[in-house]
Amino acid sequence: MKKGILFIGHGSRLGHNKEAIEAQAEALKERIGMPVWTAYNETTEPLVDSVVEKMVRSGIDEIIAIPFFIASGLHTTRDIPRKLGIPEGSSGGKTRVTGKDVTIHMEQPFGEDPNLTDILEERIAEICGKRETSVIVIGHGSRLGYNKEVVKINAERLFERGYSNVYYGFNEFNSPSIEEAMSDAVKSGAEDIAVLPLFIASGAHLAEEIPEKLGIPMNSSGGVSGLYGRAVNIHYAMPVGNDPRLVEVLVKKLEKYGI
């Protein structure tokens, strides 16, 4: 069987998501030495179903679908499987595309992978340089529980690795909020706070909304915030989706398929 890798992003009206997806797909292609096809669940072209057809027409009959998402949700458990022609919530199956039998393997989002926590730990050192710093892991938030669990797991792992003051918060939908996490960190005596966004790409949330909640300038990498009663140094990391070290997480996912 001829294998093909399908790298799937969410899609966005802004260009940041596509830029992150394309960069990671190119890095993965160079790392493994074989083509990587990119597609998007919505909004951004090309869409998943059209790329699957192109892959099959090119001779591929075994597709390894890698959703470049931090956490599961309706897109990865319902929408994308439907477009791939496999059962909802499954890890793959057989389907027919353009009259041909095709095997689909559906990988899980990367947010629970321990290697992501390694990256977060390295980022703390890069942006702050102090192991005794306080840490806030932030997520988008969701009406479903998947996003909250991923953010919580990574925060707990950092605590287990020796960071004594680790908090987590969400931009919307879930609690604690970013404001609550910031308030707790400041009340605990924090002077330096490393803020780690578990987001794929930049956008209005990361560039404008969250900095306002942190008390730092928009489109910045941090600053001194006095929003929570006293001055603290905020070190604001870039979204994880742009991190070149993620390619190793993706490579490990492909090892089970002999790639």
Q: How far is 123 from 153, CA to CA, in rounded Å?
A: 17
The domain defined by 114-242 folds into Rossmann fold (3.40.50)
pLDDT at 25 over 90: yes
First to last CA, the chain: 13
Q: Per-residue pLDDT tens for 36-85?
A: 999 999 999 999 999 999 999 999 999 999 999 999 999 999 999 999 99
Active site residues: 10
> What are the pLDDT digits (tens) for 89-111?
999 999 999 999 999 999 999 99
Calpha distance 209→214 (Å, rounded): 9
In terms of Cβ atoms closer than 10 Å to its own Cβ (0-12, 13-18, 19+), residue 248 is: middle
Three-class secondary structure of residue 73 per DSSP = coil
Residue 13 has what pLDDT?
84
Rounded Cα distance between 193 and 64, Å, is: 39
3-class DSSP assignment, residue 192: strand
CB atoms inside a 10 Å sphere around CB 82: 12
Residue 42 to residue 250: CA distance in whole angstroms:
22
The CB-side HSE value for 210 (13 A sphere, CA atoms) comes to 34
Pick one of 3.90.550.10, 1.20.20.10, 3.40.50.1400, 3.20.20.70 as the CATH number of 3-109.
Answer: 3.40.50.1400
Q: Domain residue spans in the chain?
A: 3-109, 114-242
Cα distances (Å, whole numbers) of residue 211 to 71, 154, 173, 219: 23, 21, 18, 8
**Nearest-angstrom CA–CA distance, 200 and 220:** 17
